Chains A and B, each alone.
Chain A
Amino acid sequence: MAVSGSQPASSLFVRRDIWELEKNEAFDPITLAYAKAVKVMQARAATDPTSWTFQGAIHGAYAAPPPGAGWNQCQHQGWFFLPWHRMYVYYLERIVRAAVKAAGGPADFALPYWNYSKPFPANTLPIGFRTTTLPDGTANPLSLASPKRLQAIMNGGQLSATVTNISIAMGKTSFTTPAPGFGGGKVGPQHFGNFNDSGALELTPHNTIHVALCGQGSLVGQCRGGFMIDPNCAALDPIFWLHHANIDRLWNNWLALGGTRVNPPDSSWKNASFAFYDENGTKVTLTGSQVLDSATQLGYVYDDVASLKMASLPPEDAPEPGGPPELVAATQEPVRLMGGPAAVTISAPDETQELLRTAAAPGPERVLVTIDDIKADINPGVVYAVFLNAPGDDGDRLKYHIGNIALFGIEKMNDADERHDGAPGFQHVFDATEVAGRLAEEGRWDPSAVTVTFEPAEVLPPPGEEDTWDSGESRKKSAAPPIEIGRVSILVA
């Protein structure tokens, strides 16, 4: 069933790659129309559901909501992350489109997406978002100065390949279980719960992009610091919507890979209902089952994938559920991350060495690395890439990359006055089976000494400008607020 007000399937809106749009000019018609619409929305009263402030507050806000307004609703760390954000972007897009059309802009306006996982220049902030003025000389609302965004990003720095790495998420073959699945664990509707239930796509690149755009030392609180790093301010940054359009596109692309990659069949997932506001400011609700196919139900597609026909996907037999993951090795001492690299070497005791050795060999067993009992008072603004037995700088380190720690939303999770559901403890779960298998093939898988390395992801200079590029960053890199990790564990499932 199509959603009321959506485009008929015969004339679908097409969300396009922003770097393709900006190939020839910073302000192509779509980017320029978006900028002008943002300006219009920013001028509206915060109590107007079609205003920029109100729309941002639906995700999160420090201010108290107007009576009856549904603010602070964003769904994270669970299986509602993807459908909720699809609905959210969809209605924002309708509001923007109405403003674009009212201003005489393109009637087929659709939000672009930012595919930062492609090589340079796509892995840098789109130019229209770092140019301070519009062609008419007025201020560009798409451009945010430091500290709202990291200056190195505004100066055209490249995002690290670990931050934009989508291969881990796209390699998942199930939405929910076994953890970590692609889309998140089965939890009830919740604002922020526990990292344990985050899907692989939410962890990377979703969380990592949110944090990397603001960077180390970014103040969190009252929207005086980085916007994207703070759930209460993130949606006020116009790049938020292009980021989430990309996450939404990756959901479509993951489903298109087929096999066991299907949405949850559970009625509790499909029937969960969430409230938003349309272009008329009218409160509307959508359920998960109304947003399963963006083309037929919501009237939009992406420029790189055809409309999905999920019913025709060849389902594979779901694997038989096995036993729970068995702990085979863990650190005895906590680890503290302070902004620089850190490493721990884990030694499996005699009783589990053989199990860990054979788990790395081809077979049904999985090797999991978990980062347990994570504590941080605030988000340090650092994305730590996690590697397993990473070689020196001369190797292809991405082959040993098992995930990232970005802690997006940690302040919300720390809020003692808010309900947080999920398993006990703040934990990241990384599936390291592929990397362990590679290490075994290379003869570098020794259960008595497995090294887990944490490396802060750096913003890199544009190619060819390594010696001349000015990152604009003056903060000392060693001064990041700490992240305490209670234990690093290896499990076999």
Chain B
Amino acid sequence: MDGVLNALAQRLALTLRWRPEWRVAAVVAATWIALAAGLGTHASHTGTHHAALAPIAGLPGWSLMVVAMMVPVTLPAIRHVGMSSMRSRRQRAMAIYTIVYVGVWVLFGITALGTEHLVRVHLGISHTLLLAAVLAVAGAWQLTRAKRRALFACGRTVPLPPLGRRADAGCTRYAVLQGWRCVKSCWAIMLVMVVVGHSSLVWMLALTALVVAEELTVSGRRLTRPAAGALGVAAVAVALGL
């Protein structure tokens, strides 16, 4: 029995060595569990009474949502960073990459949450109309050349020097490159999440499945057009109150 367990442990250890990004994947899984348990939902839509601070109050929840939805699509890049780094600084390199990458999405979130607040509260546009509009925009964006190009550019890299501050700077540059690329690919879909909020696990799961399939699988890239249609239908359904 011990022999079997030892063999399994060795096999697991070897598998994890080939997957240095596994710690980040574990964080993503933990984030999903936290979101499913309702963590972070309080602050975003009910927590603050000061209107100007509402977008800021939504940031923690937004950040959790980014980790859950957008970090999975960059796991191959995190693996590339890990495999391209010296063992002594592998975890540091992957941490720098992940933090900067999430940071790019947080900056997007600040802008998007602020804009959403402005449109919904100050312009008085209803939540339903806004959701229908962003679904329509997300569907239309799926059909653009810019979306397709951003999707196809997921393999782009920058040089990663092996040592010292240059190594940190290389990881940072790579994270900014990939973060910006991912924003270009997924911004419209994430706008939907800005409107529905991260407490809606159904939306999160559905849209995460879409972006993960599109970004990480060959067959998933064929989903771009059907997804555009589905988002368009959803926009009409929301607008009609169905």
Q: Name A residues whose Cβ lies closer than 8 Å to a Cβ of B.
A: 188, 194, 321-334, 349, 351-352, 372-373, 416-425, 486-487, 489
Partner of B159, one of A321, A419, A487: A487
Q: Are B218 and A351 in contact (CB under 8 A)?
A: no
Chain B contacts for A423, CB-based, 8 A: 76, 80, 155
Nearest Cβ in chain B — how far from A203, in angstroms?
Answer: 19
Chain A contacts for B149, CB-based, 8 A: 416-417
| A330 CA / B93 CA spacing, docked (Å) | 15
Chain B contacts for A334, CB-based, 8 A: 159
| A322 CA / B87 CA spacing, docked (Å) | 16
| A334 CA / B157 CA spacing, docked (Å) | 13
Per-position 1/0 for B178-205, Cβ under 8 A of A: 0000000000000000000000000000
Partner of A329, one of B152, B158, B162: B162
Partner of B86, one of A323, A325, A349, A420: A349
Nearest Cβ in chain B — how far from A338, in angstroms?
Answer: 18
Q: Are B84 and A323 in contact (CB under 8 A)?
A: no
- In the complex, the chain A residue whose C-beta lies closest to that of B19 is A324
Question: Is B161 engaged at the interface, CB distance under 8 Å to the other chain?
Answer: yes
Partner of B14, one of A321, A328, A331: A321
Q: A351-B86, A424-B76 are in contact. List 12 more A-B contacts (CB 8 A).
A: A323-B14, A323-B17, A327-B87, A327-B162, A332-B161, A351-B88, A373-B160, A419-B218, A424-B77, A425-B155, A487-B162, A489-B84
Q: Are A326 and B87 in contact (CB under 8 A)?
A: yes
Q: Are A416 and B152 in contact (CB under 8 A)?
A: yes
Known: A351-B88, A416-B149. A323 touches B18 (CB 8 A): yes
| A321 CA / B76 CA spacing, docked (Å) | 21
| A216 CA / B105 CA spacing, docked (Å) | 44
Partner of B85, one of A327, A422, A486: A327
Nearest Cβ in chain A — how far from B87, in angstroms?
Answer: 6
Q: Are B160 and A487 in contact (CB under 8 A)?
A: yes
Complex A-B: 29 CB contacts under 8 Å: A194-B155, A322-B14, A323-B17, A324-B20, A327-B87, A327-B162, A328-B86, A330-B161, A332-B162, A332-B164, A351-B86, A372-B84, A372-B157, A373-B157, A373-B158, A416-B152, A417-B145, A417-B149, A419-B218, A420-B155, A423-B80, A424-B155, A424-B156, A425-B155, A486-B160, A487-B159, A487-B160, A487-B162, A489-B84
Question: Is B120 engaged at the interface, CB distance under 8 Å to the other chain?
Answer: no
| A486 CA / B20 CA spacing, docked (Å) | 22
Known: A349-B86, A372-B84. A421 touches B161 (CB 8 A): no
CB under 8 Å from chain A, chain B span 18-72: 18, 20
Chain B contacts for A329, CB-based, 8 A: 162
Chain A contacts for B87, CB-based, 8 A: 326-327
Q: Are A324 and B17 in contact (CB under 8 A)?
A: yes
Nearest Cβ in chain A — how far from B180, in angstroms?
Answer: 15
Question: Is B92 engaged at the interface, CB distance under 8 Å to the other chain?
Answer: no
Chain B contacts for A372, CB-based, 8 A: 84, 157, 159-160
| A333 CA / B158 CA spacing, docked (Å) | 12
Nearest Cβ in chain B — how far from A342, in angstroms?
Answer: 16
Chain B contacts for A333, CB-based, 8 A: 161
| A425 CA / B154 CA spacing, docked (Å) | 9
- In the complex, the chain A residue whose C-beta lies closest to that of B157 is A425
